[in-house]
Structure 1
Amino acid sequence: MEKVLWNDQLVGRDDVHISIEDRGYQFGDGIYEVVKVYNGDVFTATEHIDRLYASADKIGMAIPYTKDVLHHLIHQLIEVNELGTGIVYLQVTRGYSPRNHAFPTPAVEAVITGYTRESARPMQELQTGVPVCLVEDVRWLRCDIKSLNLLGNVMAKQYAVERGGFEAVQHRGEVITEGSSSNAYGIKNGTLYTHPVNNLILNGITRQVILDCCEEIGLPVVEEAFTKQQAFDMDEFFISSTGIEVMPVTRIDETPIGDGTPGKWTRKLQQAFEAKLPQQLHV
């Protein structure tokens, strides 16, 4: 029987009882993380857990367990569910309290939930590349917090899906920020460009790994915002996230990028990224 995480216990799904007055349900008052698992091995768990605690700190919320306890619970969850390749989803809300916009006084204990899901690597898309659609970024101004407030992201993704896009790449005015559930990058004349880390984007864990890969393969990086027109004019373009790794973009709206196929630097980054994955993948 599948087990899920409820606070510090692994229980059956039917044994989880969330109050109708949970602040995550009523206000989106909470945070989350998605951790990738390859062949039973967790990837960049430390970075994900560190970011979870950083997000909690930014919204003034205390996680009632130490990082070591969460690491242990994640590994237990993977083992008991015999997860192969997929994800662990973790969510923390501020807890149960009668509905009031202000934080509960005195504070209540946060509620932690989590589950695993099998999810194969998107090998076909990684090989062929994907089309994306541009959409105005209407989200709030604290995108650096991985919060449960995702309605803007949901609407952007749906806009892309309805137009045959794999992902929505968002822009504030003329400036590209990031995807609805990914970071965005362009490569021009042998240099990688990506939006700087600030309140307008989430500093993706995969993004951080990719920047390390850039250094390894000798690809210069400029963390500088670029425009929609510059995006169309890039030699190569790609997006990244925990689930899609280094995903080539072959078309933005109706405009092919480069020659409309994944570029050489993107291929080199894919290879460098894959070399960092758990070793079982390379046997």
Structure 2
Amino acid sequence: MDCMGKMWRVVPVLLLVFYLQHCAHGEPEVPCYFIFGDSLSDSGNNNKLVTLGRANFPPNGIDFPNGPTGRFCNGRTIVDVLAELLKLEDYIPPYATVSDYRILQGANFASGSSGIRDETGRHYGDLITMKEQLKNYQIAVSRLTNILGNDTAAMDHLSKCLFTVGIGSHDYINNYYLPQLYPTNSEYTPVQYASVLINQYFQQLKTLYKHGARKVAILGLGRLGCMPLEVGLYGEVADTECVEFINDAVQIFNDRLVRLVDGLNANLTDAHFTYINMSGIQSFDAAAFGI
């Protein structure tokens, strides 16, 4: 089974929103696809970093055509499957290795262990935070501009592209709920922490929009309290199959994320942000083991 597991069920949702709608009006498929996030989407950006959050070795990739690539699973990720269904030329390459020509079709900026907050996941070693992913994206936009000749052509190209952003899980499992390593749990209540994350995420998504993103799928967080790692850490306290106080905290974040997406669409010209509800889909990437 591919590491996307049951998450294949979200793919038709993305396609209906971003792809089938345009095909129905005779418009072409998306010319490019840009990806941001963590280990759920990382395809090799962490390979040369000094970090425990790497996956370019077996058994990772054992079902992938060329073996381990840096994906945190045995096969394809959800973004790989989406690239296939969009009939793109190939899987979207990691930004760390993408060529100038290939960047016209997109790049994958995701980094395992990363989060919305800069300190998240740092106990594993080096990573590429969401802020740093956006800096890399801005460099990529400059490369696109040079290839296409001017800013107008680059912005027009990017406006037709699909963007997916899936980040925030590690801000909980590798930050807020690791109080022995991070102080956030004592500094914020779950409500306050969700607000802090959403405020920072809001600025990051506005930066993405400022630099050309228009069709953006925002993945909500799954039921992190059902991860084996969290059940192992807090199971005795929870005394249930899942750690519901973690799920409750995540739901606070997701509820605010829905309102954030609505606000972006209401206030940004030509913005098409879509919230994807992941909380009912029980699928765990390497984050299930804390990476």
With the length of structure 2 as denominator, give the TM-score of the two structures: 0.25
The structure whose Rg is larger is 1
With the length of structure 1 as denominator, give the TM-score of the two structures: 0.26
Which structure shows the higher strand fraction?
1
Which structure shows the higher helix fraction?
2
> Which structure exhibits the higher relative contact order, with contacts defined as CA atoms closer than 8 Å and separated by 6 or more residues?
2
